[in-house]
Amino acid sequence: MNPIVAQALTIVGVLLGSAATFVVTSAAERTRWRRAQSARWDEKRLVAYSEYANAVKHMVRLCRRIAETKKLLATGQDIDLDNAFADLAEAETHRAARWETVLLLGEPTTISAARAWSEQAWRLEYILREEDPDPATFLEAYRAAMRLRNEFYACARADLQITSGPLPELNWKSLQPPAPDRPAIP
């Protein structure tokens, strides 16, 4: 074989090898970068969803404590209602701040589920601010809030690709309206 042709074939082989190495390395680096970006945003979404869930749960928990004081539920101990409603207003401010991060990072179905849950928390507060709230109405609204909480968690878990299975069913046996002989606090 002609030495010039042999050198040309060697150069072409080196160029093809270099090009193939470049393409494979670039593809691997792109894949690694995408994976790292995805993990970064998944971590931030996890924090956003967790903080938001804790904020709404705090509001719902305050509503439950107020309902227990107003004798709408048969459990719990009485609390000062004026302070509790002030704490509820502060909890709403905290929830609203966490909401912005969910809007920025969340997946649309998770955002919808989060919105439905917080709107139900507002409904609980609305019922509790009535002059003489109905225990059955509050209990129904509270159960809806818990159901909406689970729907939010299911959407968030799907968005974060958590595959450990669905959340356990809620146990409503422990949540009962008060006995008829327990008067409501005005």
- In a 13 Å sphere around the CA of 123, the CA atoms on its Cβ side amount to 17
pLDDT number for residue 184: 47
Smallest CA-to-CA distance from 85 within 121, 57, 125 is with 125
Between 162 and 9, whose confidence is greater?
Answer: 162
Residue 62, both tokens: 């305050």
Q: How far is 57 from 63, CA to CA, in rounded Å?
A: 10
DSSP-derived letter for residue 161 is T
pLDDT number for residue 76: 76
pLDDT number for residue 37: 58
Tell me the residue ranges of DSSP E strands in 65-154.
Answer: none
Residue 130 has pLDDT above 90, yes or no: yes
Average pLDDT value over all residues in the chain:
86
Residue ranges of domains in the chain: 38-159
Q: Are 129 and 157 in contact (CB under 8 A)?
A: no
Instruction: For 66-119, write each residue's pLDDT tens digit.
Output: 999 999 988 778 899 999 999 999 999 999 999 999 999 999 999 999 999 999
The packing angle between helices 3-69 and 135-159, to 10°, is 170
Count of CB atoms within 10 A of residue 108's CB?
Answer: 9
Q: Is the pTM of this model over 0.95?
A: no
Instruction: Find the largest Cα–Cα distance for the chain.
Output: 110
Instruction: For 32-49, write each residue's pLDDT tens digit.
Output: 766 665 556 788 999 999
Mean pLDDT of 126-143: 94
